[in-house]
């Protein structure tokens, strides 16, 4: 399960703003950003919802796994 895990990006990625129900919009998430997984696929494929910068966005799980490093320390700040 990915829910609750946190990742620090080493390479920027694209995400889809899921809070904007009327209009889909993409956002660039910079390297160094910390993302916390809210929900998503358990098999590593598809998209997952993450918290970033106070909002929920959807990212591809492969992007998170390849372009991010899991944070084991719960005290790391977003």
pLDDT at 21: 63
Structure tokens that stand for 5 in this block: 């895990």
pLDDT digits (tens, 9 = 90+) for 23-52: 678 899 999 999 999 987 756 678 899 999
Exposed e or buried b for every residue in 3-34, given b needs 16+ CB within 10 A? eebbbebeeebebeebeeeeeeeeeebeeebb
pLDDT at 31: 96
Q: What is the pTM of this model?
A: 0.80
Q: How far is CA 5 from the centre of its chain?
A: 10
pLDDT at 50: 93
pLDDT above 90 coverage of the chain, percent: 46
Domains within the chain, CATH numbers bracketed: 6-71 (2.30.30)
Whether residue 20 has pLDDT greater than 70: no
């Amino acid at each position: 399960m990915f829910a609750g895990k946190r990742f620090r990006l080493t390479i920027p990625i694209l995400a889809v703003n899921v809070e904007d129900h009327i209009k889909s919009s993409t956002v660039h998430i910079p390297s160094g950003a910390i993302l916390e997984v809210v929900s998503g696929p358990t098999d590593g494929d598809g998209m997952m919802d993450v918290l970033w910068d106070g909002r929920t966005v959807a990212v591809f799980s492969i992007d998170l796994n390849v372009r991010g490093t899991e944070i084991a320390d719960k005290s790391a700040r977003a």
